Structure 1
Amino acid sequence: MTGNPLGISFVGSRMDRSDHIRGNPELLAGMMTPGARLLRLEGLDPVISAESRLEWGSLAEARDNAELVFLGRQDDRACFAQVPAAGSVAPPNPGLWQAIATLSGEELATYGGARTIVDWHARHRFCARCGHTTVLAKGGWQRNCTNEACRAEHFPRVDPVTIMLVEHEGNVLLGRQPRFPAGNYSALAGFVEPGEAIEEAVAREVQEEAGVIVRDVTYVGSQPWPFPSSLMIGCHAWADDPTVVVDKTELDDARWFTRAEVEDAMQALERNEGGSAFRAPPRTAVANALLRWWVARG
């Protein structure tokens, strides 16, 4: 790990992914010992102890014939997670966000990686090429089609999403989606489309959602976001014209906020309150890290 100067959540796991073991059946089988650990999950949600830590059990707790994903090794012990049974995955528990907020940064990153991979398996039980069933391979980092005439290999996907702060004369552009609680604003964001560079995606999304033309796009930092499998690519851009034209099919509102308003909102969030102008995104969101970075730039 090369550090996390922005304090971005869902990064920083101490898990050694041990890629050389995944493709070696003998080495992988050797990892499945009584001392191996199994991450306890309820569907896709973590089981968290009274000490605010992820709970681990042993492989003996796994369901019969469960698909097991080899997460890697930590503290010289092999770590696994089991793919939820078909039809058992439910929407996130309403208390999920409060629960994971109690985890340390390292444990949150470990959970995020595990959630993403087991969720991918739960949603890819059938071949996208021919429709036949697929089976787990390479320790859970691949699925293979069982149709001998197809034999397609499928790999976990990551969906790139740009999330950006747009600046004009010391103000920053933020928006709110219809699903946001009242008063909440965040950075604009959108998926990178096929055939599109990151810089192009930033410019297109900002223009589509807020009618603002941007220039000089720069990269700030990224965050794996396991709901279900995004990579949030944090960027900064400049605007010469502050005129905002909101696309109401995308956003409820978008507006410029002053540095003082952003500072107030960030300070209020630490008290679990909303600021005088808006409520800032939670600390687990990369938008929060982007705003902290922007404020610190002065």
Structure 2
Amino acid sequence: MRIAEQVTFGGSGLEREAGLRGDAEAQARMWADPDARVLPLWRGKPLIAGEERDRLGLLAPDHEVLALAGEPRLFLGLDGDAPRFAADISRWEPTGLDTAALGAFFDPSEQHHPALPPDQRFAELRGVMARLSPRDAELAATARALYSWHRTHGFCARCGAASAVAMAGWQRICPSCGGHHFPRTDPVVIMLITRGNSVLMGRSPAWPEGMYSLLAGFIEPGEPIEAAVRREVAEETGVRVGAVEYLASQPWPFPASLMLGCWGRAESEEITIDPVEIEDALWVTREEMVSVMAGLHDRIRPARRGAIAHFLIANWLADRLD
């Protein structure tokens, strides 16, 4: 797919400079660079700036908000010659915090630190991802995924001892057994399954009312992409899939997946859902999908803008899957 990398989080060419991660002197020098900027995150939410919520709120390393930062400090890379870092300030306790919203499928609440301008707030990345520039989207996705990994991998998987952060946040090392642990990314297939003029859509019971998307599922050990597509579709809907073609990928930091977008041609139509896997599935014609994507359908809500499902469907409608 020639426009594959135009998907949100598709990459911006950030110079990640892995060779500098273990260089303590270089890290200190870059932190002191006048052009260095830091992306703060609060409970997984990046700082977003602007009335339109269309850019990251990057702070100077000596900003007072960053005094709240805990370990680890992440080195994300170089934006041109300017160092980019991330810091987690989750120990900050906002006043009037809506704790119910924090546990929702999608958290619409925003948090404002009093030391920041009014237009800078911590916001759910899924709500703003489609408005960010490719560079800002890559920085935010990388930082969010790394901090999600650190929160759940504080102990060595080999011996159970507490591990220590290394390589500017890109490794954890066990001081007990010497094990080295690296951030994980889970491969997930997401499938544009078509038959004639229709596409197969499904919904999870945990999703907001009316929301439908493409079928998706984790790749199992020892399984190629094509087999995962056929297995997942068959398990969830009973539909048989023949030819499978890879289209595009998307890093999905919720918490740490790599979505592998594929196009599969269905060889059967009858749907028999597995209620353990999904709540509903249906075929949607191309004409009906135009209405869905425009937000005019009386039953179906489209996949979130910025998600690879939305990207694949929009390009299927536009005949741009080549």
TM-score normalised by length of structure 1: 0.88
Which of these residues, 57, 60, 67, is aligned with residue 58 of structure 1? 60
Which of these residues, 193, 197, 217, is aligned with residue 224 of structure 2? 197
1-side partners of 2:69 and 2:251: how far apart?
31
Shift of residue 29 of structure 1?
A: 3.1
Is structure 2 residue 157 aligned with structure 1 residue 128? yes
2-side partners of 1:84 and 1:124: how far apart?
18
Distance 1:15 1:7, change over 3 A: closer
Correspondence for 1:157? 184
2-side partners of 1:85 and 1:108: how far apart?
20
The question of whether the paired residues in 1 share the 8 Å contact of 2:145 and 2:256 is answered with yes
Correspondence for 1:240? 267
Correspondence for 2:43? 43
Shift of residue 63 of structure 1?
A: 4.1
Q: Which moves more between the two structures, 53-62 or 2-11?
A: 2-11
Post-superposition CA distance 1:136-187 (Å, at most 9, x none): 111211110121xx11000000000000011112211111111122222110
2-side partners of 1:6 and 1:156: how far apart?
22
The question of whether the paired residues in 2 share the 8 Å contact of 1:158 and 1:230 is answered with yes
2-side partners of 1:101 and 1:166: how far apart?
24
Is structure 2 residue 235 aligned with structure 1 residue 221? no
Correspondence for 2:257? 230
The question of whether the paired residues in 2 share the 8 Å contact of 1:8 and 1:286 is answered with yes
Which of these residues, 71, 86, 97, is aligned with residue 81 of structure 1? 86
Correspondence for 1:296? 318
Shift of residue 73 of structure 1?
A: 1.0
- Segments of structure 2 that go 5 or more residues without pairing to the other structure are 94-101, 110-123
Which of these residues, 116, 134, 147, is aligned with residue 118 of structure 1? 147
Question: What secondary structure is seen at the aligned counterpart in 2 of 1:81?
Answer: strand
Post-superposition CA distance 1:102-136 (Å, at most 9, x none): 43343222211111112211221111111111111
Correspondence for 1:108? 137
Shift of residue 64 of structure 1?
A: 6.9
2-side partners of 1:45 and 1:183: how far apart?
26
Shift of residue 80 of structure 1?
A: 1.0
The question of whether the paired residues in 1 share the 8 Å contact of 2:10 and 2:249 is answered with no
Code of the residue aligned with 1:30 in structure 2: it is: R
Distance 1:106 1:234, change over 3 A: same
Shift of residue 264 of structure 1?
A: 1.8
Code of the residue aligned with 1:21 in structure 2: it is: L
Correspondence for 1:67? 72
2-side partners of 1:173 and 1:76: how far apart?
46
2-side partners of 1:125 and 1:87: how far apart?
21
The question of whether the paired residues in 1 share the 8 Å contact of 2:292 and 2:302 is answered with yes
The question of whether the paired residues in 1 share the 8 Å contact of 2:42 and 2:90 is answered with no
Code of the residue aligned with 1:230 in structure 2: it is: S
1-side partners of 2:140 and 2:314: how far apart?
24
The question of whether the paired residues in 1 share the 8 Å contact of 2:41 and 2:90 is answered with no
The question of whether the paired residues in 1 share the 8 Å contact of 2:44 and 2:148 is answered with yes
The question of whether the paired residues in 1 share the 8 Å contact of 2:69 and 2:88 is answered with no
The question of whether the paired residues in 2 share the 8 Å contact of 1:176 and 1:184 is answered with yes
Work out the number of aligned pairs and report it: 290
1-side partners of 2:270 and 2:148: how far apart?
41
Cα root mean square deviation, aligned: 2.5
2-side partners of 1:3 and 1:31: how far apart?
36
Post-superposition CA distance 1:74-122 (Å, at most 9, x none): 142211112456899x657434243445433432222111111122112
Correspondence for 1:177? 204
Question: What secondary structure is seen at the aligned counterpart in 2 of 1:128?
Answer: coil
Matches within 5 A, 1:258-297: 258-266=285-293, 268=294, 273-276=295-298, 278-297=300-319
